[in-house]
């Protein structure tokens, strides 16, 4: 599997989501109090991510 979402519990006991590509973590989310909220975050990323604009704030 080249890419995946991973739900895990951090040291504070909150649920977080990592997005991995070829075993490399591309990003992780904020902490959530429940696993259901973490799952909702995944669904939101899947639904809204493809349409999200790219905002480039770099100094070029």
Q: Using one digit for the tens of pLDDT, what is the confidence trace for 6-20? A: 999 999 999 999 999
53 pLDDT exceeds 90? Answer: yes
- The CATH fold of domain 3-45: Double Stranded RNA Binding Domain (3.30.160)
**Helix, strand, or coil here: 35?**
helix
What span, in angstroms and rounded, lies between the C-alpha atoms of 21 and 32?
22
**Assigned token pair, 46:** 């899947």
**Helix, strand, or coil here: 11?**
coil
Q: How many residues are given for the chain?
A: 60
**The pLDDT of residue 19:** 96
Contacts of 17 (CB under 8 A, 6+ apart): 5, 6, 7, 8, 28, 29, 38, 41, 42, 45
């Amino acid at each position: 599997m080249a890419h995946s979402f991973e739900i895990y519990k951090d040291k504070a006991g909150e649920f977080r989501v990592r997005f991995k590509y070829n075993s490399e973590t591309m990003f992780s989310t904020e902490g959530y109090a429940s696993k259901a909220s973490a799952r909702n975050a995944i669904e939101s990323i899947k639904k809204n991510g493809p349409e999200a604009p790219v905002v480039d704030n770099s100094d070029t």
